[in-house]
Amino acid sequence: MNSREFEVTGTTLRGAGFLMLGATLIQWSAAIVTRAFPVLGPSATSAWRFLLGALVLLALTRPKVRHWTTYQWLGALALGATTAVMNQCFYQAIARIPLGGAVAIEYLGPFCVAAVAKRTPRHLALVVLAGLGVVALTRPGNGLTLEGVLFAAGSGVGWATYVYASKQVGATTKGFEGLAVSMSVAALLTLPFSLGTSAQLSEHPSTLARLALVAVMAIVLGFGAELQGLRRLKPSVAGVLMAADPAVAFIVGWILLSQKISAWDVVGLVCVVTAGAGVMYHATVSESELAQ
């Protein structure tokens, strides 16, 4: 393997590592935040998470946007809007159905990105395998409700767009400036949901502390790690690598929320993780061949 092949392979592996780190942090924070729902409700909880996370990012990055181009602003606005929709729907979903099932349905968004971008029979087979895994995870009688499924599906639509928007922001902005501006946009769009809830937070200071922790875990660290991963991977490859998200969500739900895992859940997890690993290997080999 020459130096160019090693560089391409290393970039792909680092991208996958960042995506997995981001997935773990985001699903972990989702399990933690559910205890804020009885106090604030899902919509206000999401809004406060964006507000606190955006404030931390702005303080850390102090983005210099004076010389931003229209293209950079459009990317940040798109990422902020899609992330706001995605998270609002997701929090409504996990307030109604188990975390693993919600993420599995949500994953259909980036799954469709990968399906549309298929280029080889091997890639298509891996996409189908991931799809079968999602079916196993979301089978009837697995604690799902129609309302929860619809919210999770809405989150999936936002996630599909998020993959492309995040890729654009990562490619056109430096460091985490683009993320800070995007999350500020999301905070402004969701701000109306938090109006009138300050009194509840003053009465429950532990909830405010929980929201601050979740904001750092998800907005700053989780989305930051995903941004770094998406900078290194094509959207179609990243879409299938995100097949591991339902597996992470089921494990987090089982450990932190005592949500049960059945034999069919295990079958589904094996399918999606295998598909993700297969695409990872295929993408690495393909990129190495192109670099020769």
| Tens-place pLDDT, residues 155-183 | 998 888 887 888 788 888 888 899 999 99
| pLDDT score of 147 | 92
The number of beta carbons lying within 10 Å of the beta carbon of residue 249 is 30
Encode pLDDT of 225-282 as tens digits: 988 887 777 766 776 677 778 888 888 888 888 888 888 888 887 887 787 777 666 6
Tokens standing for 4?
């160019």
Contact 275, 133 (CB under 8 A): yes
Tokens standing for 80?
């902020």
CA pair distance 125, 118, nearest whole angstrom: 10
Helix (H, G, I), strand (E, B) or coil at 231: helix
CA pair distance 108, 74, nearest whole angstrom: 25
Query: What pTM did the predictor assign?
Result: 0.83
Contact 145, 259 (CB under 8 A): no
CA pair distance 69, 260, nearest whole angstrom: 49
Give the residues of the chain that fall short of pLDDT 50: 1-6, 287-292
CA pair distance 287, 292, nearest whole angstrom: 9
CA pair distance 128, 107, nearest whole angstrom: 13
| pLDDT score of 286 | 53
For the chain, the structural domain boundaries read: 3-290
| pLDDT score of 288 | 45
Phi then psi for residue 91, to 5 deg, are -65, -35
Helix (H, G, I), strand (E, B) or coil at 133: helix
CA pair distance 55, 265, nearest whole angstrom: 38
